[in-house]
Amino acid sequence: MVEYRFSEKFEKRFLELEKKFPKRSSLVMWALHLAQEDIGYITPAAVDYIAARVGVSPAWVKGVVSFYSMFREKPIGKYHLNVCSNLMCQLMGSDKIEVCIHEKLGIKDGETTPDGKFTYTRQVECLAACGYAPAMLVNNDFHELLNAEKVARLIDELQSK
């Protein structure tokens, strides 16, 4: 198995976080965020490494990874389109957003464009933006009150970057 360890930048951030969490198991989520930011997704080697650094079992860490949809276990595109699949967004037309993404990029739920630029995820729980539905998260940026035209424009902008 390929070994993993935090790069210098993330090691520094982990050491700062360690001071804030006397209960070491509370570090797991933070360590996973660091690893994901560091290498893009959570590898089995990262699970083992974090378990060893925090002092819990790899099964504990793996359980956290598999429970939270924000953690990824495989590479994704540069832009991760997360369309809310909950009731309010569905009522307000999130299906049309999905159709737009499929037509513009040729990808369905869970797929990545061949150029590695976009990944689309539909099974995203409420993004806590129900009053501005339908909503979509692109990486860490919220996009609200969407319709197909806005999404098409956004995709064009991201494609030109």
β-strands 136-138, 118-124: how paired?
A: unpaired
88 sits near ligand FES (criterion: CB under 6 A): yes
Which range in 27-35, 52-60, 87-95, 109-117 contacts ligand FES by CB under 6 A?
A: 87-95
Query: Segment 11-50, which members bind ligand FES (CB under 6 A)?
Result: none
Residue with tokens 């953690």: 71
CA distance 80 to 120: 6
127 sits near ligand FES (criterion: CB under 6 A): yes
83 sits near ligand FES (criterion: CB under 6 A): no
Going by C-alpha positions, the residue among 12, 82, 6, 67 that lies closest to residue 39 is 6
CA distance 125 to 77: 20
130 sits near ligand FES (criterion: CB under 6 A): yes
Q: Which residues bind ligand FES (CB under 6 A)?
A: 84, 86-89, 126-130, 133, 135
